[in-house]
């Protein structure tokens, strides 16, 4: 029978695995230079200012209004 420490360790490992998978997906997706929400090209100025950006300015604004901050 698992105790609290075992369950916590499993939860932490699952969270870490999910974050690493997401990081790899974002790195691949960022190379596309397309917004993941609308599909339009992310403007060059935004890509230079925030190379990690996966959304255009408009879609990022919508995400922030909805409270879905994603990096």
> How would you write the pLDDT of the chain (71 residues) with one tens digit per residue?
679 989 989 999 999 998 888 877 766 655 568 999 999 999 999 988 888 888 999 999 999 998 866 55
End-to-end distance of the chain based on CA atoms, in angstroms?
37
Residue 59 to residue 70: CA distance in whole angstroms? 11
Q: Which domain holds residue 24?
A: 4-66
pTM above 0.85, yes or no: no
Is 15 a member of any domain? yes
Count Cα atoms within 13 angstroms, Cβ side, for 66: 9
Total number of domains in the chain: 1
Residue 71 lies in a domain: no
Structure tokens at 50: 């925030």
Is residue 25 situated within a structural domain?
yes
């Amino acid at each position: 029978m698992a105790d609290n420490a075992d369950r916590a360790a499993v939860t932490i490992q699952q969270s870490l695995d999910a974050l690493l998978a997401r990081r790899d997906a974002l790195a691949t997706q960022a190379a596309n230079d397309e917004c993941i929400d609308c599909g339009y090209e992310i403007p060059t100025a935004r890509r230079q200012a925030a190379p990690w950006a996966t959304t255009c300015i408009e879609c990022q604004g919508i995400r922030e209004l909805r409270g879905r901050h994603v990096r």
